[in-house]
Amino acid sequence: MRLTPAWLTLAACLLLPWMARAGDAPVRIGSKQFTESVILGELATVTARRAGAAVTYRPQLGGTRILWQALRDGDIDVYPEYTGTITHDLLKDLPADAGIDALRARLKPLGIGITDALGFDNTYAIGMRADEAGRLGIARISDLAKHPELRFGFSNEFMDRDDGWPGLRRRYALPQTQVNGMEHVLAYRALASGAVDATDVYSTDADILYYHLRTLDDDRHYFPRYQAVYLYRLALERSAPDFVAALRKLAGRIDADAMRRMNAAVKLQGRPESAVVADFLGVPVRAARGGFWPRLLRRSIEHVELVAVSLGLAVLLAIPLGVLAARLQRLGQLVIGLTGILQTVPSLAMFVFMIPLFGIGAGPAIAALFLYSLLPIVRNTHAGLAGIAPELRESAAALGLPPGVRLRRVELPLAMRSILAGIKTAAVINVGTATLAALIGAGGYGQPILTGIRLDDIGLILQGAVPAALLALLVQGIFEAVEHWLTPRGLRLEARL
C-alpha cells in the first residue's frame, strides 16, 4: 500500500509516544577544562553507566560560566563544581561560608540540585617557583607586598572573579602592576619558564609537584572553602533516579590525597582519565572507542562540517550583501562597517555569545563562524563589482540587457575572481578558528589541542594542529582550482599576459 501524507502523519502520531518511552534521553555530563574537573566528570560518567543510565560525556567545555549556563539551559544535566565558586561567582547573594544545606535551598528554585561534599577541599592558592620564593624569602601572600616588581600571570577566571585577583589585591594591599590573564594551564608553563613570578593554583593540583612550586600561606584568610560537589538538574530525580542516588553516594568518598593521586596519575604519568577513575572505583577499565585513525576521521568530519555549513550559509548571505553594497554606496559602507565590527569581536567571546541562542555544541560554533565569514566575502564582492571598468557596463547596457541579466551574465562573472578570493579567505580563517569550537562541545581538531595543552603533551597538540594546517592548505588548493575553472577563458588569458 502506498503511504500518503495523511497515513504518514497518523503513523507518526501513533509511534511518537512509543518512541519517547523506548528511547530515553541520555544523561549529559560536562566538565571544565582543567584536569581535576575532567576526572570528576569521568567519575560521574562511570557512575551513570553503573546505574544503568545512558550517558553522554562532554569534557573540557570551558570555564564556569559556560557550564553554569549550559546547566541552567538544559544543555547538560550534571557537572562538578566547588562551593566557593557557587557562593562567590554564581549565587553572589550568599555568605562565603554558606553550607551545603543553604546552597541546596537557594539552588532548588532554579531547578538545580547539589550533592553533599565529595570529601576534599580544593581551594585557591598563590604559587611561586620554590627556588625563587626561597631566594626572595616569600612564604606568605602578605610577603608579596614587599616586592612590587613581581610579575603575576593569573587564569582568566581568577582575574575577574569576586574571590580572585580584585579582592586579593585589596585584602593584601598588593602593589604589583604587571598582572596579566591567561589560560590556567598556560599560566603554569609561564611560571615554570620564568615568564611570570606567581600564579593562582588549586590546592589539589598535581602541577604543584610537577613544576616544583611553593604555595604561599593565606595568612589573612582570604580564600573561602572550595568543597567539591556535583550540580545536577532536579529533573534527573524523575528521569534517572538510580543515577542520582548513585551520584549522591559519592559524597565523602574522595579525600584530598586521593584526588591528588588521581590528578598526578593523569598529569604526571600520562594515564587516561577513564583508567584512573576505574582504578579508584575498582571496576574494569572501559575499552577506548577506536584507535588513532578512527578518532582522526571523526574529528575531521566534525571539523569539515563546521567549516562547510558556516561557510555555505555565509556565501548565501554575503554575496547579496556585497551586491547591495556595490549598488548603493552609502548603504554599502554601512554594511561593510557592520561586518567589520563583527570581525573585531574575539573568537572565544563570539562563541560564548552564541550559547544563550543555540546552546552548546555545533550550533553556536556554526553561528559564530558564519558571522566571521561575512566580512571577507562581502568586501571582496563589493570590490570586484566596483572595480569593473565603466565601458564594460555601458556596453552591456547598450545591448539592452536588463539589470538582472547584466548582473548574472556580465558583472558577477567579471567579479568572480575577487569573490572567490573572499570565499577562500573566509574558509581558511574558519578552519583555524573552528579549533576553538571544542571549548563549547563542538568537537573537531580543537579537542586534542585542548587536551594536549592541559596535559602538557606536544604529541596530542600536534594531532589537532597538523591536520588543521593540512586542511587549510587543502581548502586553499580547492578554491584555487575552482577559481581557475569558473573564471571566463578570456580573463584567464588576460591574467597570463
Indicate the pLDDT class of residue 228, thresholds 50, 70 and 90: very high
Which amino acid belongs to residue 495? A
Q: CA of 198: how far to CAs of 151, 158, 171, in Å?
A: 7, 13, 17
* pLDDT value for 234: 97
For residue 1, pLDDT beyond 60:
no
pLDDT given for residue 405 in this prediction: 81
What pLDDT is stored for residue 98 in this prediction? 87
The CATH number that domain 292-496 falls under is: 1.10.3720.10
In order, the DSSP letters of 246-269 are HHHTTTT---HHHHHHHHHHHHTT
Q: What superfamily does domain 24-120+226-281 belong to in CATH? A: Periplasmic binding protein-like II (3.40.190.10)
pLDDT at 8: 40
The stretch 351-359 carries a mean pLDDT of: 89
List own/partner pairs for 82-85 with CB under 8 A and 24 or more apart. Answer: 82/122, 82/226, 82/227, 82/228, 82/229, 83/117, 83/224, 83/225, 83/226, 83/227, 83/229, 84/123, 84/124, 84/163, 84/223, 84/224, 84/225, 84/226, 84/227, 85/161, 85/163, 85/226
Lowest mean pLDDT among 212-216, 246-250, 311-315, 479-483: 479-483
Tell me the pLDDT band of 63, cut-offs 50, 70 and 90: confident
Using the predicted structure, report yes or no on whether residue 19 has a pLDDT greater than 50.
Answer: no
- For residue 110, name the pLDDT band (cuts at 50, 70, 90): very high
Mean pLDDT of 212-226: 92
Mean pLDDT of the chain: 88
- Residue 13 confidence class, pLDDT cut points 50, 70, 90: very low
Tell me whether the CATH fold assigned to 24-120+226-281 matches the one assigned to 292-496. no
- Where does 124-215 sit in CATH, by number? 3.40.190.120
DSSP count for the chain of H helices, then E strands: 24, 10
Domain ranges, ordered by start, for the chain: 24-120+226-281, 124-215, 292-496
Share of the chain above pLDDT 90, in %: 66
- pLDDT tens figures, 380-419: 999 999 888 888 777 767 777 787 788 888 888 889 889 9
- Res. 187: pLDDT tops 60: yes
